[in-house]
């Protein structure tokens, strides 16, 4: 399936499903967030994820954790190797505070709120997103520098669900993070238990 530029979506993953997020044109960020309902409501946690992986740069083999320290998603493939988990999803305030933008500006936060609402998730329940393909350099003095994504056309990341999840996903709306051009994002869900017919192909 395809996300048009500056849009978002939300969907369910069953434990064992694999989500592939593809950058079809290159240099496009996709913000991802995830929630579990059982055994208790929990959400993706950048802090817990850094705690247990000891790196800012998450890639193949790393596990993304919930705020309750449960494994939510494992990165099982990654053709880029640079993503961000420090920055929050761009929001209306991002554009007024940082860029003095007047009037409405599409944002990942607005797109997540709109698409997650049917799942009972509201604005204040949305944590720091895992910003797929976002390229943030941490300078020796601790300063953060947003650079163009390293993804080229067709690059992708695959994440395996370690629990039943509600997932929100966007094609990011922030100028600087996407090298000043807004592109689509593609995604595919690979069932954990494919039938004989779709054993070798992705549902999209």
171 lies in the site for Zn ion, by CB under 5 A: no
Specify the residue, 90 or 166, whose C-beta has the smaller distance to Zn ion: 90
Beta bridge partners of 147: 135
H or E element that contains 40: none
Closest alpha carbon to 130 in 25, 49, 24, 22: 49
CB 150 within 8 A of CB 82: yes
**Cα separation of 115 and 126, whole Å?**
12
10 lies in the site for Zn ion, by CB under 5 A: no
Beta bridge partners of 126: none
From residue 92 to residue 111, the character string flagging contacts with Zn ion as x (rule: CB under 5 A) and all else as - is ----------------x---
Measured between its terminal Cα atoms, the distance across the chain in Å is: 5
Specify the residue, 166 or 171, whose C-beta has the smaller distance to Zn ion: 171
How many residues of this chain bind Zn ion (CB under 5 A)?
A: 5
Strands 18-23 and 155-161, bridge-based pairing:
antiparallel
> In the structure encoding, which two tokens stand for residue 89, read together?
């999803």
| Stretch of residues binding Zn ion (CB under 5 A), selected from 34-42, 56-64, 149-157, 171-179 | 171-179
174 lies in the site for Zn ion, by CB under 5 A: yes
Beta bridge partners of 32: 130, 169
Question: At its nearest, how many Å lie between Zn ion and the CB of residue 89?
Answer: 5
Specify the residue, 108 or 167, whose C-beta has the smaller distance to Zn ion: 108
Question: At its nearest, how many Å lie between Zn ion and the CB of residue 134?
Answer: 8
165 lies in the site for Zn ion, by CB under 5 A: no
Specify the residue, 42 or 157, whose C-beta has the smaller distance to Zn ion: 157
Give contact residues for Zn ion (rule: CB under 5 A). Answer: 90, 108, 172-174
């Amino acid at each position: 399936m395809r996300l048009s530029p500056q849009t978002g979506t939300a969907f369910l993953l069953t434990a064992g499903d694999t989500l592939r997020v593809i950058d079809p044109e290159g240099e496009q960020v996709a913000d991802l967030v995830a929630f579990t309902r059982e055994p208790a409501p929990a959400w993706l946690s950048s802090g817990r994820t850094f705690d247990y992986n000891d790196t800012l740069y998450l890639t193949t083999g790393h596990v993304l954790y919930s705020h309750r320290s449960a494994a939510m998603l494992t990165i099982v493939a990654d053709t880029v190797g640079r993503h961000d988990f420090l920055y929050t999803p761009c929001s209306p305030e991002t554009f007024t505070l940082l860029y003095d933008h007047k009037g409405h500006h599409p944002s990942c936060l607005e797109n997540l709120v709109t698409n997650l609402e049917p799942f009972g998730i509201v604005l204040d329940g949305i944590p720091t997103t895992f910003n797929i393909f976002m390229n943030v350099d941490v300078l020796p003095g601790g300063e953060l520098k947003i650079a163009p994504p390293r993804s080229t056309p067709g690059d992708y990341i695959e994440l395996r669900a370690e629990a039943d999840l509600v997932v929100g996903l966007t094609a990011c709306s922030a100028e600087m993070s996407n090298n000043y051009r807004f592109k689509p994002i593609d995604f595919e869900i690979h069932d954990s238990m494919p039938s004989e017919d779709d054993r070798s192909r992705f549902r999209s």
